[in-house]
């Protein structure tokens, strides 16, 4: 049977909804309540996640300024988030993933210094910004002589277009290179067109494909969406984005183990 890697689920909504932390900047919690971040990581791993995302997504200097936070905290928030994820991953024999979208040098250096196993540029909604983020990451890693596998994930509409208008099937190849571990979609609603996007990309590359969609609160809908993609043999990595929690990942892992996924032809 084909091995499917399970990525964890949401971080920000759990911090707010389950742990009742009102901080607008969720990455600040890495500093003020690190035990909460650790607990979330541990819960996801115990639920079945193979890959856990560090709480580093939105702590660039620009993002912190918008939150009314000190932009000079960018590096520290990213570093501590990466370290917390790495520590949990090592403890359980899993892999840690540093995440960002519109990153800057402070944020990326913090993630790298936290020594995560992979880097995920996710929720890419703009083609040019996505290219700039990938180029910046590559430049920093080259300068520092660091090599990390890179995961790329786009936010798309129901037609399979990123929000700057480009079709993912037309541009995904521009993000592929020897350092790319996977290409995928996250923070998006499911549609038949998205399944066709995955099928088309699968026919054009051997890169792993990932999908971690949002949940509308109905776990059965979430599972059926991913199940349909798995049955079509188009995915290698699955997980959750906004609105998902440990129960989604637990049910997802159980579904995969129970049904199995056939090897590709």
CATH of the domain at 106: 3.20.20.330
Helix (H) or strand (E) holding 7: none
Q: Which pLDDT band holds residue 260 (cuts at 50, 70, 90)?
A: low
Q: Is residue 265 in a domain?
A: no
Is residue 216 pLDDT above 90, yes or no?
Answer: no
Q: Which of 92-96, 105-109, 221-225 has the lowest mean pLDDT?
A: 221-225
**CA 78 to CA 197: how far, in whole Å?**
33
Burial of 188 (0-12, 13-18, 19+ CB in 10 A): buried
Count of structural domains, the chain: 1
For residue 217, the model assigns a pLDDT of 85
Q: What's the chain's average pLDDT? A: 95
Report DSSP letters for 34-58, one per residue: HHHHHHHHHHHHHHT-SEEE-S-TT
Q: Is residue 34 in a domain?
A: yes
Q: Is residue 238 in a domain?
A: yes
Q: Is residue 264 in a domain?
A: no
Is residue 172 pLDDT above 60, yes or no?
Answer: yes
Q: Is residue 105 in a domain?
A: yes
For residue 191, the model assigns a pLDDT of 84
Q: What is the mean pLDDT of residues 8-32?
A: 94
Q: Is residue 22 in a domain?
A: yes
Please state the length of the chain. 265
Q: What is the mean pLDDT of residues 178-199?
A: 94
Structural domain span for residue 191: 5-259
């Amino acid at each position: 049977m084909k091995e499917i890697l399970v990525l964890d689920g949401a971080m920000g909504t759990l911090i707010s909804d389950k742990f009742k932390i009102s901080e607008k900047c969720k990455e600040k919690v890495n500093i003020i309540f690190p035990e909460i971040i650790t607990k979330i990581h541990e819960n996801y791993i115990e639920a079945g996640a193979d890959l856990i995302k560090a709480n580093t997504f939105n702590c660039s200097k620009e993002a912190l300024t918008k939150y009314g936070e000190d932009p000079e905290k960018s590096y520290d928030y990213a570093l501590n988030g990466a370290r917390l994820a790495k520590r949990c991953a090592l403890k359980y024999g899993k892999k840690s993933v540093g995440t960002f979208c519109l990153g800057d040098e402070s944020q990326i250096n913090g993630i790298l210094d936290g020594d995560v196993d992979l880097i995920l540029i996710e929720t890419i909604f703009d083609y040019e910004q996505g290219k700039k983020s990938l180029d910046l990451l590559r430049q920093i890693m080259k300068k520092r002589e660091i090599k990390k596998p890179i995961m790329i994930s786009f936010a798309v509409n129901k037609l399979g277009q990123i929000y700057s208008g480009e079709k993912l099937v037309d541009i995904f190849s521009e993000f592929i290179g020897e350092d790319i571990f996977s290409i995928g979609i996250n923070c998006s609603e499911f549609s038949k067109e998205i399944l066709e996007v995955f099928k088309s990309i699968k026919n054009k590359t051997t890169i792993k494909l990932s999908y971690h969609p949002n949940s509308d609160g109905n776990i059965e809908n979430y599972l059926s969406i991913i199940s349909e993609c798995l049955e079509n043999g188009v995915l290698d990595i699955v997980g959750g984005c906004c609105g998902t929690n440990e129960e989604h990942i637990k049910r997802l892992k159980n579904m995969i183990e129970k049904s199995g996924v056939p090897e590709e032809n």
